[in-house]
Every structure is written in C-alpha cells, then in structure tokens.
Amino acid sequence: MRKLAPESVDMIIADFPYGKDIELSEGNEGEKEKVTPYKDGAFETMELVDGLMREGFRVLKEDRVMLCFFDVIHKDQLIKMALDKGFNVCRTPIIWSKTRGTGQPTNPTYYNPSYEMILHLQKGWRKMNTQNVGNVIEEDRVPSKVKVHPTQKPQKLLRKLIELHTLKGELVIDPCAGSGSTLAAALTVGRQAWGCEIEEEFYLKGVNELTKLQKELAATPVVEVDKKGGPKRLKHSVCAVCGGAGKDDTEKPCGFCGGKGTLPLDAADDDAYLVFTPGSPQWVAHWEQWPERHEAMLEYAKLLATEEK
C-alpha cells in the first residue's frame, strides 16, 4: 500500500486476520477435517491492522469508505484505532447473515456462528448510491468445494457493497486480498481493482483466477438496444484494462481503448500491444491476458530498446 499515491483510492474492503489461530472444517459432508489456514496471534494482528488503517486513511480520497470484516472481540480496539487515524466510524456494524450453512462453535454449548460483522469507516461523508439500505445483508456462504481461500467471501456480497459505495471506473483495493475475491467483484461491476496478499499460495491462485476473469471480461460484449427495445448486433467489448471507465489510475485516458471504455470486437487483434510502453501497467495487463502474444511482445520490446540506443 505504501506504493499507492495519497488520495488515489475510492474504496477499501479489508478482510483482516481475526487475531486468533483459525481452524476450519474443510471437505465433503462426512469427510470433514480440521485445517488451519493461517496462524495469527492477537498482538501481531492488531499491529498489522493498525498499519493498514493508517495507510488506508492516507490513500483514500476525501468522502470515501473503508469496510473491514472483523471479529467481535476486537470491536472496541478497532474503533479506537480508526478514530485515532481520523476516520468517522459508524458504531453499528454491517452484518453479513449467512443464509446457507454455519460455522462450527468453539464450545458445544454455544450456538453455531451464522454471521460476520463489517466495520463501516468513512473519510469524510459520501451518500450511498442506494438509500435506506438495511445493515443486515443476507447472502449464502461460498461452498467449500468451490473455495479458493478458506475465509473467502461471496461475490454477491462483495459486489453489493462495491456498487453501494462506488461508481463505475473508480478504484477499489483490498490489502488482505487472499485469492482476489474483492478484486474479481470490483472488475465484474466495472470498477478498477488493486490488491496485495502475503501468502504466496493464495497470491498465485488469485492471479490465475483474475487472469481468467479478465479474459472473460475482455470478451464480454456491450449490447446496443434499438428503438423497439430489442438488442442490435453486438459491436463492442468492454476494455479489460480500465474496466470500461476509459481512464487509468492517474485519470488519464486509458491507453488500451483510447479513453472510450470499449473496443471494437475486431480491434483486439494480435498487434494491439503496439500502443503500449513496455513495462507499463497496460503492457503488463495485456501480457497477462494474452500469453500467446508473449514472443511477439518480447521482440517488440527488444526492437524499441535497440532503436533507443
């Protein structure tokens, strides 16, 4: 996060470590086994969260939000941290009610946990895109058989939160990205995305999933509607680099689509990379989306280097 410019981010969603060694049950019914996805002591976790909140306040634009999944035992401590950094804090948390499946209680005399809490922090004030939204959001858990990360959050929940607080083309980041669920949700609804993950295993899985998603989005056509309300011939695809925003993260026109946010279906041809500077974010995005063009892109980069000499 330290590499991000001050006041460059429109929304932060963070699924903080919960400050305790977490054991989860994984596998099919009748074949459950305990797994410990990570170990995180309370002191180390709170130290990490303190730093993330400090950086979060720095990189957020004015009148933007930071939403943090958290464990109830740390609520008071997190609120104090947030206030110390300058955030406005909504004291009543958002509740994600898990409508399918529950967690396992730590004590057989306890109720099964069936919800998680989200701390709502604001830098300034910004109205939500939809008004009068209740603070209890019901969404199914991610089924174990399709999870990439043990604490993965559902796409519908993440997309709903992102669409409530941001506009198309704005930047959403996740400093505890896991397998990239927040980033995938942001890209799917036309936002830009940035994230980081400390665990290499989940980082690599996330890169793989996001690369596949970007390829799908690049091939997603924009449907034009005729006067009678019916779809016309599909002519364009959403730009996978800017997510349809037409701008890069410096507010300049996207170098991939020329600021249009879309590409003609016949424009994503084999030499589209010629408009990019080797090593630029657009170049890297193109490299990740089209592995079959690597050889040609390397030759082009070598040619440019030779010409500069």
Instruction: For the chain, report the end-to-end CA distance as a whole number of angstroms.
Output: 35
Q: Which DSSP symbol is given to 275?
A: G
Which range has the top average pLDDT, 27-36, 143-152, 230-239? 143-152
pLDDT per position as a tens digit, 69-97? 988 888 888 999 999 999 999 989 999 98
CA 46 – CA 87 distance, rounded (Å): 17
Residue 26: which pLDDT band, with cuts at 50, 70 and 90?
A: very low
Contact 36, 22 (CB under 8 A): yes
What's the pTM value of the predicted model, to 2 decimals? 0.65
Domains and CATH numbers, the chain: 9-217 (3.40.50.150), 236-308 (no CATH)
